[in-house]
Amino acid sequence: ENGRCITKLENMGFRVGQGLIERFTKDTARFKDELDIMKFICKDFWTTVFKKQIDNLRTNHQGIYVLQDNKFRLLTQLSAGKQYLEHASKANFR
């Protein structure tokens, strides 16, 4: 049951993300390479969705990109809230 819920949430996130990117890139020229895609995400997409640019973009030059947002609005309230501390201390990570 838990696995199905996670899969369903992941699929919903994928569809929403795909729809947003299709909408934002419909009037944009075709990207030349992965770096152009990442620049678009960090500057244009992130600014439109979250009203700020990414704080840092790193790569290992082997296809792995790490985007860093130091004040990600969707998680800032969660991380500052005290109501989750009790549950976090009881979490069982495997």
35-66 tens-digit pLDDT: 899 889 988 899 988 888 899 988 888 888 89
What integer pLDDT is reported at residue 34 of this predicted model? Answer: 87
User: What is the CATH number that goes with domain 31-86?
Assistant: 3.30.1380.20
Which amino acid is present at 1?
E
pLDDT band at 19 (very low <50, low <70, confident <90, very high): very high
Q: What is the torsion angle, in degrees rounded to the nearest 10, for the CA atoms of residue 61, residue 45, residue 75 and residue 70? A: 50
- Mean pLDDT for 69-88 is 68
The pTM (predicted TM-score) of the whole model is 0.62
Q: Which of 2-11, 19-28, 33-42, 69-78 has the lowest mean pLDDT?
A: 69-78
Q: Is residue 89 pLDDT above 60, yes or no?
A: no
Q: Residue 40 contacts by C-beta under 8 Å, 6 or more apart in sequence?
A: 25, 28, 31
What integer pLDDT is reported at residue 86 of this predicted model? Answer: 62
Return d(Cα 44, Cα 54) in angstroms, integer.
10
What integer pLDDT is reported at residue 93 of this predicted model? Answer: 43
